[in-house]
Amino acid sequence: MKVVGLIAEYNPFHNGHAYHIQKAKELTGADSVIVLMSGDFVQRGAPAVMSKYLRTQMALQAGASAVFELPVCYATGSAELFAYGAVSLLDRLGVVDSLCFGSECDNLSELDKIASVLVSEPEAYSCVLKRELKKGASYPSARQKALQSYFQTEDCAFLLEQPNNILGIEYLKALKKLHSKIRPYTIRRVESDYHETELQEHYSSASSLRHFLTRSEQFPEDLERQVPSSVLPLYRETFRREYPVTPNALSSITQYMLLKTPVKKLCRYMDMSEDLARRIKNQFHHYTDYQQFCELLKTKELTYTRISRALLHTVLGIKQKRTDAFLNDQVHYYAHLLGFRKDQKQILSVIKKESDLLLFTRTADEKKLSKAGKAMRRQDVFASNLYQTLISGQYHTPFENDLKKSVLKI
């Protein structure tokens, strides 16, 4: 059995994602597709537009064999942390032969060349990096200039301006650091640009779909050409009942957390520097909502995404010290299964046999976890339960405790 791994957010699931699943199987010759997906909060520092269970069901209906959840401390981390957390989990499942990711350039050798330099940090690269950082450049900008200097070309500048290329490089770095046997593949993104807000003919970006869905009061019929026919009924049935959830759903709780937390304690949360914590306190009287405050706090050195992640980590209680402890220990303690296809269930038996991780499928499995594993699991459960309060508050539906959710089977 050949297995390809995909790392995704599916925020929300669309034609491009279905194409990725199909193309990954064709390119790698895989029999099964394991998806490692962010849970209810995503890497840009916001709640997902729809729950992890809705997105899992869509992925399975579109051809994924099984979907596992990426722990929230990694799912909401920087590109480097997100990639390392995801690749290390795929690696430890013990069955994944290949990793297929989307990129804007579709040139694995160029991406791998950059990844090799970033991992080995040769002196010619690190000297320029340090010099640029001393000048006050942001880390991404300093890294870009150091790579340009090292390769004596500006080609890498373009590659590092594209979000999927950046993530792809981080996946390749993680594979190298882990000395993983997983073989990487990349496919080109089709039709849409990552940051587009206008719908395209068939392959629109997740950003444009979120923009579209959150501004529609009635179910948008234009969605029919943007998502696979297999998932359209689920989109239709749950619209304005379970989704969309927007970043501003976090406005009140974020305002409360920032009001009650002093600067010193704010600095304990992941992605929160002392400068940002002080800026938050200085500008707090201008707070109106989550997105507005992130925009207000933006500077040349602090991006919107970095700020939103810091605010989200404050709300979720994700502290830097705890995440560092996970990384310095086992990184992962379990593989939380969200759902699987019944006709592909044999892959679960193989994982149980080959992986050194606990295959987490029910609440009772928590008893088998170490103290650190239980701490990671508590973070994940709290994040999902908080997300459920956002849904129930917005759509006036009963609260559903994540501990009572069952693995999806289709």
Is 39 annotated to bind a ligand? Reply is no
| Three-state secondary structure string covering the chain | CCEEEEEECCCCCCHHHHHHHHHHHHHHCCCEEEEEEECCEECCCEECCCCHHHHHHHHHHCCCCEEEEECHHHHCCCHHHHHHHHHHHHHHCCCCCEEEEEECCCCHHHHHHHHHHHHHCCHHHHHHHHHHHHCCCCHHHHHHHHHHHHHCCCHHHHHCCCHHHHHHHHHHHHHHHHCCCCEEEEEECCCCCCCCCCCCCCCCCHHHHHHHHHCCCCCCHHHHHCCCCCCHHHHHHHECCCECCCHHHHHHHHHHHHHHCCHHHHCCECCCCHHHHHHHHHHHHHCCCHHHHHHHHCCCCCCHHHHHHHHHHHHHCCEHHHHHHHHHCCCCCEEEEEEECHHHCHHHHHHHHHCCCEEECCHHHHHHCCHHHHHHHHHHHHHHHHHHHHHHHHHCCCCCCHHHCCCEEC
Please report the DSSP string for 222-272 in residue order: GGGGTS-TTTHHHHHHHBTTTB---GGGGHHHHHHHHHH--HHHHTTBTT-
The answer to whether 164 is annotated as binding is: yes
69 is in an annotated binding site: no
15 is in an annotated binding site: yes
Q: Is 8 annotated as a binding residue?
A: yes
Confidence of residue 196 (pLDDT cuts 50, 70, 90): low
What is this structure's pTM? Answer: 0.95
Question: Is residue 18 marked as binding?
Answer: yes
The torsion of the CA quartet 243, 383, 270, 136, rounded to 10 degrees, works out to 0
CB–CB of 175/5 below 8 Å?
no
Q: State the CB neighbour count (10 A cutoff) for residue 29.
A: 10
Confirm whether residue 14 is marked as ligand binding.
Answer: yes
Helices 274-283 and 290-297, packing angle to 10 deg: 120
Condensed to tens digits (0 to 9), the pLDDT of residues 65-120 reads 999 999 999 999 999 999 999 999 999 999 999 999 999 988 999 999 999 999 99
Using the predicted structure, report yes or no on whether residue 23 has a pLDDT greater than 80. Answer: yes
* Separation of CA 373 from chain center: 20
Average of per-residue pLDDT across 273-300: 96
pLDDT of 392 > 80? The answer is yes
**pLDDT the model gives residue 197:** 60
Q: Name the average pLDDT for the chain.
A: 94
203 is in an annotated binding site: no
**Is 401 one of the annotated binding-site residues?**
no
Q: Per the annotation, does 19 bind a ligand? A: yes
**pLDDT over threshold 80, residue 377:** yes
Question: How high is the pLDDT of residue 199?
Answer: 75
pLDDT band at residue 193 under the 50/70/90 scheme? low
**pLDDT in the model for residue 378:** 97
| pLDDT score, position 366 | 92
CA-to-CA separations, 273 to 96, 103, 108, 146, 305, in angstroms, rounded: 37, 31, 35, 24, 14
336 annotated binding-site participant: no
pLDDT of residue 195: 54
CATH fold for domain 3-104+186-246+331-409: Rossmann fold (3.40.50)
pLDDT at position 55 is 98
Nearest alpha carbon to residue 95 among 14, 215, 3, 177:
3
pLDDT above 90 for 59: yes
pLDDT category at 203 given cuts 50, 70, 90 is: confident
pLDDT value, residue 136: 83
Task: Give the SS3 label for residue 41.
Answer: strand
Q: Tell me: the pLDDT tens digits for 233-247?
A: 999 999 999 999 999
Residue 165 is labelled as binding a ligand: no
Residues 6+ apart with CB under 8 A from 18: 62, 63, 228
7 in a labelled binding site: yes
CA distance 391 to 311: 20
Which of these, 109, 222, 245, lies nearest to 169 by C-alpha position?
109
pLDDT the model gives residue 158: 76
Domain boundaries, the chain: 3-104+186-246+331-409, 118-161, 250-323
